[in-house]
Amino acid sequence: MRLSLNAATRIALFACLYLFFLVVTSVVVQLLVSRHPDSTAVMRIGAVVQDVFMFIVPAVVTALLLTRLPAQFLSIDRKPSVPATVCGLLALVCSIPAMNRIISMNASMHLPESMAAIEAWMRQSEAAAQHSIDLIIGPHTIPSLMMTVLIMGIFAALGEELFYRGALQRLLLSTRINAHAAVWITAFIFSAMHMQFFGFVPRLLLGAFLGYAVLWSGSLWVSVILHAANNIMYLVGQYMAQAAPAVAAGADNAGNLLVNTLSAGCAALFIYLMYRLRRQ
């Protein structure tokens, strides 16, 4: 597939489109939220607006401007491989204990005393992000959970995968850099742009996992399904934690070295099987 413009210009175009829609979307969402700062409905509308205009629109417009085959560029023209998708889902489930340990370690990270002000700002950003997530999740009811799964679980996964793996990773792969570098650079940007510093490492690993899923399968739909499954597991976990906080606290502290090692080993096995099933 031939792309118009040179590699640097393509990436610059994509960045400019993103920045333009970022500014416009930020203004619109801020106006909405400022009027109703604690409204779950408004926060959900804001989340949908962000997904559409910050992620989906820049990716689709970039694809339309660079090629006559935008679906092929975004890797959405190929059906997801069922074996690869199943292996990916099993890898996600198996990795839960090990990832919970990594999440805990990352969350307990502390910067040197000389950087105390930076750490305070990072934790404030983390708390603000978590407050927004809690508002979007809304009340502890089944209908609210279903709406949250639709917005934060499925729609957010579609938007982010179109942007990061569909457009950004694809643009990097169209340059002369190594495919592994493209996957990890995309994963780094994916994690950094969430502005949740004490969840950076687990999100980096998730981003790399999703990047390789697209690279090996040739279909963005594989990473969309895996990303949505990861989000849904998180949301259901949050719902269950509210329903039975004592049980959830016990489960969080139940991991040990053997469990975490088995978890990482099983996840690595299914990831290896995904690699073996890669599109030739």
pLDDT reported for residue 251: 54
| Confidence band, pLDDT 50/70/90 cuts, at residue 171 | very high
Q: Is the pLDDT assigned to residue 76 strictly greater than 90?
A: yes
Q: Is the pLDDT assigned to residue 62 strictly greater than 90?
A: yes
Taking only the tens place, the pLDDT of each residue in 10-34 is 999 999 999 999 999 999 998 888 8
- Residues, the chain: 280
| Confidence band, pLDDT 50/70/90 cuts, at residue 1 | low
CA 232 to each of CA 115, 147, 201: distance values in angstroms, whole numbers, following the listed order: 35, 11, 20
Task: Give the integer Cα–Cα distance in Å for 275 and 270.
Answer: 9
Provide mean pLDDT across the span 72-94: 95
CA 195 to each of CA 5, 112, 139, 240, 246: distance values in angstroms, whole numbers, following the listed order: 32, 20, 25, 26, 29
Q: Is the pLDDT assigned to residue 239 strictly greater than 80?
A: yes
CA 122 to each of CA 135, 153, 194, 200, 204: distance values in angstroms, whole numbers, following the listed order: 20, 25, 12, 11, 17
Taking only the tens place, the pLDDT of each residue in 30-59 is 888 888 878 899 999 999 999 999 999 999
Task: Give the integer Cα–Cα distance in Å for 7 and 224.
Answer: 26
What are the helix (H) ranges across the chain?
7-35, 40-50, 57-66, 70-73, 82-94, 96-107, 116-137, 142-148, 156-161, 169-173, 179-192, 200-217, 220-243, 245-252, 257-276
Task: Give the integer Cα–Cα distance in Å for 66 and 170.
Answer: 12
| Confidence band, pLDDT 50/70/90 cuts, at residue 279 | low
Taking only the tens place, the pLDDT of each residue in 199-219 is 899 999 999 999 999 999 999
**Quick one: tokens of 34?**
């400022």
pTM of the model: 0.92
In 3-state terms, what secondary structure has residue 36? coil
Task: Give the integer Cα–Cα distance in Å for 93 and 233.
Answer: 9
Task: Give the integer Cα–Cα distance in Å for 187 and 204.
Answer: 5
Task: Give the integer Cα–Cα distance in Å for 260 and 94.
Answer: 10
